Amino acid sequence: MTDTTTDKPMKTGPQVIAAAQKRAPAGPGVYRMFDTGGEILYVGKARSIKKRIASYTRLGGQTNRIMRMISETASMEFVSTETETEALLLEANMIKRLRPRYNVLLRDDKSFPYIVISRDHDAPQLAKHRGARSRKGDYFGPFASAGAVNRALNAMQRAFLLRTCTDSVYESRTRPCLLYQIKRCAAPCTGEISLEDYAGLVDEASRFLSGKSRGVRGELGKAMEEASEALDFERAAMLRDRLAAMSHIQAHQGINPGNVEEADVFAIHQEGGQFCIQVFFFRAGQNWGNRAYFPKADSALQEAEVLQSFLTQFYDDKPCPRLILVSHALPEGELLAEALSARAGRKVELSAPQRGEKRGLTEHAMTNAREALGRRMAESASQNKLLKGIAEAFDLAEPPQRIEVYDNSHIMGTNAVGVMIVAGPEGFEKGQYRKFNIKSESLTPGDDYGMMREVLTRRFTRLLKENAGKETGEHDAAWPDLLLIDGGKGQLAAVKAVMEELGIDDVTVVGVAKGPERDAGREHFFMAGRESFRLEPRDPVLYYLQRLRDEAHRFAIGTHRAKRKTAMARNPLDEIIGIGPTRKRALLMHFGSAKAVSRAGLADLEATPGISRQMARLVYDHFHEGGNA
């Protein structure tokens, strides 16, 4: 692969593109367009870059979107590839990473959950997984939501009796846990089942999740009949319960195809200049949930074009199934199928069915896409009206596009956290929420003003770095128009001091103080250079501001509780280097608690079974600074 870069000219428009075309590669590859400020405008791929670039030099027949893009282009860069398939995959990767202004953009701020069967232990664990696949194991998914995974895991436990406990819990067990008693685990930890037989259960679960559910159910059905004929009714009942659990997985899915074992189903709907893409996941003949996407795309684009661009980005970091069903025939469907097959290392079929059961699946997805877009448009209209009301209430020049709300949470200064939530024209943007662990050691415990100063300083110092080099008044989408602070004059003064220190004067700050006796509806609002004021008790804008404040409070309380729970669950023995699960269990069995261990004398520690004199000294020194017995 080679990379050829043109010199950055001062001019913009067709002349720049014509000059770049002379140096463009004749073969397949990816091209990028930049404006005068070096911001990327567009990423595209072509079988012949030179021919594709030439099409931009002819202004006749271009859409308004393409005309604007051409007029803003000041420089171009090219990357040559061996094949057009490779160019398609590279294009998708660049679009997701660079997020060009004129491309169709997949807004995907949340990763999908998966089920993993670990392969780094003699007794593999069945668990939910989200994020990088750093652990050795077999991954199955994606699932549309954590709820769908949890329901599947619950049924998988009953069907295959695989353990879900962590490795440390597994190693520390001396007798079967409750899950064994209620027939949701085979208890390999205590030898209730041999590792060889447990491996058979793991193999069955893996085959079931891989789409071979009919074969697994057939084998279990046959084994149940054999056990019944042999009068082994206890085993037959156990197999019956496992079969019932497998049926339960497929019986509560809403819509289940009879002849589709593994497929992703996509449907797109356009209305009012907006797009909605609905995706359903089917694995092992089961519906693993659905999710709606609202890609950012020019309204002049055709639905099939948007769907194709969406798919290339969607599968950039996800495994694809053997079958992908789409509601519209794609312009380059064969090329996309070839690219996905190359990435997966096996054949991937891409189809726009016209009849039968598969057509029914795409129509069902289309219905969901249409309804989801309708709900979004209704919510958007209401949201825009509320934002206009906020602009009027706080004397803003225009409705805010990004509102950030800050709050703190602690108990007598302990486990202190600050949080930020974000809202805008599309409602709460939970992917933009942030948590701040209060780090300053000089703060007096419970100093709310000091905590707010630390949070705002860290937040806006980072924002200023990210916006360095931009002209005054120009900021990226993460720059807020309005800050809402939970508090009155004191909190407002603390925030304004931070803003003045950082030289920020284009962000409106409003303090929201709770009313007398914390009554909702009697809040006072504080702004610099203005007397405190209230809004009409039944004003919808007031209700919306209360929702923002309550959401920030909910997020702060939840974050604080999670931090406190982690701190409470931390065992002091975990901090001692050299004390593993076995020795820790021996100490706890002997003394009863970690607190008792910390108070024990050296002689008592040495008397603990399995603890040597050297190890006893290590434990004693950890809890006693002087180290003298």
pLDDT value of residue 394: 92
The model scores a pTM over 0.75: no
pLDDT value of residue 255: 52
CA pseudo-torsion sign 172, 175, 179, 185: positive
- Tell which of 98, 127, 144 closes a domain: 98
**Residues 447 and 543 occupy one common structural domain:** yes
**Residues 84 and 146 occupy one common structural domain:** no
pLDDT value of residue 539: 85
**How many whole angstroms separate alpha carbon 613 and alpha carbon 624?**
16
Between residues 220 and 4, which one has the greater pLDDT?
220
**How many whole angstroms separate alpha carbon 218 and alpha carbon 229?**
17
The answer to whether residue 215 sits within a structural domain is yes
pLDDT at position 569 over 60: no
**Residues 581 and 540 occupy one common structural domain:** no
The answer to whether residue 473 sits within a structural domain is no
Domain that holds residue 18: 2-98
User: Are 543 and 383 within 8 A, CB to CB?
Assistant: no
% residues pLDDT > 70 (the chain): 89
Q: How confident is the model at residue 212 (pLDDT cuts 50, 70, 90)?
A: low
**How many whole angstroms separate alpha carbon 141 and alpha carbon 282?**
9
**Residues 19 and 134 occupy one common structural domain:** no
**How many whole angstroms separate alpha carbon 67 and alpha carbon 88?**
24
Which of 43, 100, 51, 104 is CA-nearest to residue 76?
43
Q: How confident is the model at residue 125 (pLDDT cuts 50, 70, 90)?
A: very high
- Sequence-distant (≥ 6) Cβ neighbours of residue 327 within 8 angstroms: 266, 267, 268, 307, 352, 362, 363, 365, 366
**Residues 559 and 580 occupy one common structural domain:** no
pLDDT value of residue 625: 59
**Residues 119 and 200 occupy one common structural domain:** yes
**Residues 82 and 132 occupy one common structural domain:** no
Between residues 505 and 4, which one has the greater pLDDT?
505
The answer to whether residue 290 sits within a structural domain is yes
Q: How confident is the model at residue 252 (pLDDT cuts 50, 70, 90)?
A: very low
**Residues 538 and 594 occupy one common structural domain:** no
Give the strands of the sheet with 126-129, arranged side by side.
126-129, 114-118, 137-140
DSSP state of 105: B
Q: What is the DSSP secondary-structure string of 264-281?
A: EEEEEEEETTEEEEEEEE
Which of 155, 204, 202 is CA-nearest to residue 183?
155
pLDDT value of residue 571: 67
Q: Using the CB atoms, write b or e for 400-410: b if 16+ within 10 Å.
A: bebbbbbbbbb
Q: Using the CB atoms, write b or e for 336-348: b if 16+ within 10 Å.
A: bbbbbbebeeeeb
**Residues 158 and 283 occupy one common structural domain:** no
**Residues 558 and 578 occupy one common structural domain:** no
- Tell which of 39, 66, 98 closes a domain: 98
pLDDT, mean of residues 385-398: 91
Q: How confident is the model at residue 124 (pLDDT cuts 50, 70, 90)?
A: very high
pLDDT, mean of residues 576-586: 79
User: Are 113 and 61 within 8 A, CB to CB?
Assistant: no
ω into residue 100 within 30 of 0, thus cis?
no
**Residues 583 and 537 occupy one common structural domain:** no
Structural domain total, the chain: 5
**Residues 433 and 488 occupy one common structural domain:** yes
What is the per-residue pLDDT across 359-370, written as a single tens digit (0 to 9) for each? 999 999 999 999
The answer to whether residue 235 sits within a structural domain is yes
pLDDT, mean of residues 204-232: 76
What is the per-residue pLDDT across 36-78, written as a single tens digit (0 to 9) for each? 888 899 999 999 999 999 989 887 778 888 888 998 999 999 9
pLDDT value of residue 323: 93
pLDDT at position 352 over 60: yes
The answer to whether residue 256 sits within a structural domain is no
Q: Domain holding 602: CATH number?
A: 1.10.150.20
Between residues 517 and 227, which one has the greater pLDDT?
227
Between residues 531 and 11, which one has the greater pLDDT?
531
**How many whole angstroms separate alpha carbon 246 and alpha carbon 254?**
16
pLDDT at position 626 over 60: no
- Tell which of 205, 221, 251 closes a domain: 251
pLDDT at position 505 over 90: no
pLDDT at position 144 over 60: yes
The answer to whether residue 327 sits within a structural domain is yes
Q: Domain holding 64: CATH number?
A: 3.40.1440.10
pLDDT, mean of residues 534-551: 87
**How many whole angstroms separate alpha carbon 18 and alpha carbon 31?**
14
**How many whole angstroms separate alpha carbon 330 and alpha carbon 350?**
9
The answer to whether residue 390 sits within a structural domain is no
User: Are 125 and 185 within 8 A, CB to CB?
Assistant: no
What value does the mean pLDDT of the chain take? 83
The answer to whether residue 385 sits within a structural domain is no
**How many whole angstroms separate alpha carbon 261 and alpha carbon 256?**
10
pLDDT value of residue 49: 92
